[in-house]
């Protein structure tokens, strides 16, 4: 029973440390004609959008207008933009306008960007999708390759199993330890007498 409680305590500690509620919030959305009738973006799609990046006080730190008004292009899932922007554009419709809030953990992190984004700063984006180009079909064997999240989850599970095995080995339960059978005297070696 002691082993079970120790393992449960370790599991609870791990769960608390990894269970942070970090999400991209969709603040406002406006789809053309009230509903999405065109393409919606998924992982692998090539997105072209106009954007305005702001801080909570409304100060603009970047926008497509500052870069000549040309749309910004990226492929969802290639990790060439901040993770929050990729997450915030999943299932966005062609022509949709969307406002999102990205927590600093999914933006520029603890350190920010010197002289541009302060450390630990949540950022806001107003997005307008110009076009979505669907990803080319992938061969079936590509779908069998596990994601980074799956690999991390299995690694954590393996580490937890090793930890539980160590705890069980290090702190054996007295009720399961081997005892000599009752009624049989324990044999001991005696020195030969002359």
Token pair 């054996």 is found at 172
If one compares 181 and 50, the residue with the highest pLDDT of the two is 50
- Alpha carbon 130 to its chain centroid, in Å, reads 28
Q: What is the pTM of this model?
A: 0.62
The answer, yes or no, to whether residue 184 has pLDDT greater than 70, is: no
**Per-residue pLDDT reduced to its tens digit, 70-108:** 999 999 988 899 999 999 999 999 999 999 999 999 999
Q: How far from each other are the two terminal CA atoms of the chain, in whole angstroms? A: 52
- Type and span of the H or E element at 91: none
pLDDT at 16: 46
If one compares 23 and 14, the residue with the highest pLDDT of the two is 23
């Amino acid at each position: 029973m002691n082993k079970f409680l120790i393992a449960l305590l370790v599991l609870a500690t791990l769960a608390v440390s990894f269970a942070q509620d970090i999400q991209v919030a969709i603040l406002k959305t406006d789809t053309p004609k009230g509903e999405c009738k065109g393409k919606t973006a998924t992982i692998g799609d090539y997105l072209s959008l106009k954007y305005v990046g702001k801080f909570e006080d409304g100060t603009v730190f970047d926008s497509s207008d500052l870069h000549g008004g040309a749309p910004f292009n990226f492929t969802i899932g290639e990790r060439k933009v901040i993770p929050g922007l990729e997450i915030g554009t999943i299932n966005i419709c062609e022509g949709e306008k969307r406002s999102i809030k990205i927590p600093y953990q999914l933006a520029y992190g603890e350190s920010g960007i010197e002289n541009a984004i302060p450390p630990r700063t949540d950022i806001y984006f107003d997005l307008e999708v110009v076009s979505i180009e669907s990803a080319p079909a992938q061969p079936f064997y590509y779908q069998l390759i596990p994601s980074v999240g799956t690999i991390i989850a299995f690694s954590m599970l393996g580490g937890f199993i090793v930890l539980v095995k160590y705890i069980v080995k290090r702190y054996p339960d007295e009720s399961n330890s081997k005892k000599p059978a009752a009624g049989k005297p324990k044999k001991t070696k005696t020195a030969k007498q002359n």
